[in-house]
Amino acid sequence: MKLFRQRPRHKLKDILVYYAFVAKYKLDCKLSTAIFSLKCLLVGVSLKPGANVCGRFYLNRFPGSEISIGSNLEVVSSPYLYGLNIYSQSKIRTFFPSAKVKIGNNVAFNSICIMARSKTISIGNRTMIAGNCQIMDTDAHPVWPPESRWTYSGDEYDAPVIIGDDVYIGLNVIILKGVTIGDNSVIAAGSIVNRDIPPNCLAAGNPAKVVKIFTTEGV
């Protein structure tokens, strides 16, 4: 009986390929972070120190609007680097001078889109957002009457979005206008959030509904 398991032996080729991937990952992140920081400076985005961005990031700030990002932002929006299939870039865009996007400290996300037309979209500290998520403060076009979908240019149909601290949002989630998601809550993958979600719960579905409450004693 052997007291210790024999360590598996890896082929030299496999080791070299793996560490080549790690080296490329680190290099890509350094380059992407430098480009992202420069974009923030040019576009007028407030960025605190510690950002680490891997992949492409599209920024478009309407004159007079505000985009602010807290410290230690973590972004992976590269299909090559992310474990699952995701869009090829992250995007933050504002459309009116009154629009605001506020991202807290230690936030992490993967290839998401944040579209603030005229209101405020706020993401709390330590929130994690998986790939391909869409967050918007507007329907973009009125639903009725049909002719207004082509001519509408106001903001009375827009509404702010507030995402609390320590929220976890799964893959392919859509968060619509006027929604508040409470602290510590989890939004299951593929959900569409069109109503408020309270703190400390799991919400899932289309539309998303609370399916589980978390307590200090457990789920």
Average pLDDT by stretches of 10, the chain with 219 residues:
58 79 81 95 97 94 97 91 83 96 97 96 98 94 80 81 98 97 98 97 97 78
Q: In the prediction, which pLDDT does 162 show?
A: 98
**Res 167: pLDDT:** 98
Q: Which residue in 24, 26, 30, 141 is the catalytic one?
A: 141
Q: Which domains does the chain have, with CATH numbers?
A: 12-213 (2.160.10.10)
pLDDT at 62: 97
What DSSP letter does each residue of the chain carry, written as one string?
--SSPPPPPPPHHHHHHHHHHHHHHHHHHHHHHHHHHHHHHHHT-EE-S--EEEEEEEEE--TT-EEEE-SS-EEEE-TTTSSS---SEEEEEE-STT-EEEE-TT-EESS-EEEESSSEEEE-TT-EE-TT-EEES--SS-SSSTTHHHH----TT---EEE-TT-EE-TT-EE-TT-EE-TT-EE-TT-EE-S-B-SSEEEETTTTEEEEE-BTTB-
Q: For residue 141, indicate whether it is catalytic.
A: yes
Residue pair 113/86 in contact by the 8 Å Cβ criterion: no
pLDDT of residue 1: 46
Are 190 and 208 in contact by the 8 Å Cβ rule? The answer is no
pLDDT at 11: 79
Could you give the angle at the alpha carbon of 144 between the alpha carbons of 174 and 133, nearest 5°? 10
pLDDT at 85: 82
Determine the pLDDT at residue 218: 52
Which residue in 70, 198, 91, 203 sits closest to 136, CA to CA? 91
Going from the C-alpha of 173 to that of each of 75, 113, 195, the distances in angstroms are 17, 11, 13
Is the full-model pTM beyond 0.75?
A: yes
What is the model's pLDDT at position 6?
56
